[in-house]
Amino acid sequence: MVDTQTIGFIGTGEISAAMVTGLAGAAGGPERIMVSPRSAGVSARLAREFPGTVAVAESNAHVVASSDIVVLAILPHQLHEALDGVRFRPEQLVISLLAGVAIADVAAVVGASVPIVRAVPMPAVARRDSVTVMAPPEPRAKALFDLLGGALELPAEPDLAVYSALTGTISGFYRYLDIVCEWAVGRGATKDATEPFVRGLFAALAPALRDPNVDLAHLVKHAETPGGLNEQLRQEFFDGSAPALCQALDGLYERVTRR
């Protein structure tokens, strides 16, 4: 349960809209959510979907003045403009979703002695179905993200880099499934039949992935039989491609740690 009464969002892009949706529908969620007027269509839609909980503020300054927790969900280059003339209070909490922007840089713009947490939520928080990585530990931020699917508190800000790099693997997973479907169509299957089959094939794996008591290496072995089809593809393609994948992940890591 979130103890604070009002959570404000500066920026109403995909992730902030997902957070608002998840929080507004959560048991024990905030009594009031303020959203900035920028991206007016998104803000208005959220207010219509959650009347009595979500309100559109007059300005970013109004969001901050009305909120106990302020979520910064803007693009990095918009930070100075978005907070120009905005005054924070020491008892507030700022949660920054700005990719690649250090807490010290956010603090310099906030201009007040306000605790700041960095977090990396994913769109699935709209369904309260995704763990959010955050640093450093902070009870109010953890309570908020627990409502959205869970919080993984990291000891310090630099620890976020590895997890930020991992978020860059999502479209590659979808592309893998897309290639599999393309191959099947090339072999004479129809797209209308193949895509539902492949989607269902992989969606059915979700319960196993959600089980924290079974590690991924065990799942790999459990999905195979000696000399079987899964073992053959894993050995011929994935094992051989592992060094290239790790090299690509190194590139993502270097990108998110570059300042």
Residue 235 belongs to domain spanning: 168-257
Instruction: Calculate the CA dihedral of residues 10, 64, 27, 133 and round it to 10 degrees.
Output: 60
Decide if 58 contacts 67 (C-beta within 8 A). Answer: no
Which domain CATH number covers 216? 1.10.3730
The predicted-structure confidence for 86-106, as pLDDT tens digits, reads as follows 999 999 999 999 988 999 999
162 belongs to a structural domain: no
The predicted-structure confidence for 147-164, as pLDDT tens digits, reads as follows 999 999 999 999 999 999
Closest CA to 20 of 59, 61, 58, 48: 48
143 and 204 co-located in one domain: no
115 and 220 co-located in one domain: no
pTM over 0.85: yes
The predicted-structure confidence for 232-254, as pLDDT tens digits, reads as follows 999 999 999 999 999 999 999 99
102 and 40 co-located in one domain: yes
pLDDT for the residue numbered 244: 96
174 and 245 co-located in one domain: yes
163 belongs to a structural domain: no
Find the radius of gyration of the CA atoms of the chain.
21
1 belongs to a structural domain: no
pLDDT for the residue numbered 258: 77
189 and 248 co-located in one domain: yes
Question: At which of 125, 155, 185 does a domain end?
Answer: 155
Return the bridge partners of 8, or none. Answer: 34, 70
Question: At which of 100, 120, 155 does a domain end?
Answer: 155
